[in-house]
């Protein structure tokens, strides 16, 4: 959080965390870097609440203790930013969608998710060990493997992904069912009125 632009919120992509947009936030004069539901520091229990883009947006709005002037979302974060805009539509919020397209999650996203699901991280001692498995055994790009493992945390007994696999699995179908174009059109038309 940088107090110069504490009304600008940055939302990361799937399997990332708020830190992923640090450079952009700095170049824009600061802002609030949010860890979306099931990512980074937002891994706590959500009770019986369904894991949807709409509920992710509610999390963002409730967690940001300020009026939001701008929401910047990358990929999955763009989908959540669109939902935030729908919920804040009467509050003059600007929405930036970065690398965010309508429709199903790209097949490569699903493939990456399935690959990381197949690895029992408790069988490894270091992030480097997991990165090596991802690149050498699973044929993953080195940069992607390093990025995925960079968000890992560890406690006394084991490593953990920087995201909750169960929540991600619940969110993946939303890519195909969200009325992305309908919501975008609604926002554009309401701006013109």
Residue 167 has pLDDT above 60, yes or no: yes
Give residue 90's pLDDT. Answer: 63
The whole-model pTM stands at 0.89
Q: Do the Cβ atoms of 50 and 27 come closer than 8 Å?
A: no
CA distance linking residue 98 with residue 59, whole number of Å: 20
Is 89 or 40 the better-scoring residue by pLDDT? 40
Residue 129 three-state SS = helix
Residue 3 has pLDDT above 50, yes or no: no
Kindly give the pairing relationship between strand 94-98 and strand 70-74. Answer: parallel
Closest CA to 18 of 57, 74, 69, 59: 74
Point out the least confidently predicted range of 81-90, 125-134, 166-175: 81-90
pLDDT average, residue stretch 91-112: 85
């Amino acid at each position: 959080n940088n107090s110069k632009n504490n009304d600008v919120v940055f939302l990361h992509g799937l399997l990332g965390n708020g830190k992923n947009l640090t450079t952009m936030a700095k170049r824009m004069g600061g802002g609030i870097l949010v860890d979306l539901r099931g990512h980074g520091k937002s891994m706590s229990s959500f009770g019986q609440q369904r894991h949807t883009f709409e509920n992710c947006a509610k999390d963002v709005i409730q967690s940001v203790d300020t009026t939001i002037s701008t929401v910047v979302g990358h990929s999955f974060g763009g989908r959540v930013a669109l939902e935030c805009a729908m919920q804040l539509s009467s509050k003059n919020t600007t929405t930036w969608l970065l690398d965010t397209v309508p429709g199903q999650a790209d097949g490569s996203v699903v493939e990456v998710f399935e690959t990381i699901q197949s690895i029992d991280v408790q069988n490894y001692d270091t992030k480097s060990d997991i990165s090596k498995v991802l690149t050498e055994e699973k044929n993953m790009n080195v940069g992607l493997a390093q990025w995925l493992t960079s968000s890992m945390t560890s406690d006394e007994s084991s490593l953990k992904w920087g995201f909750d696999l169960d929540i991600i699995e619940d969110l993946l179908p939303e890519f195909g069912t969200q009325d992305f174009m309908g919501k975008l059109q609604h926002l554009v038309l309401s701006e013109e009125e």
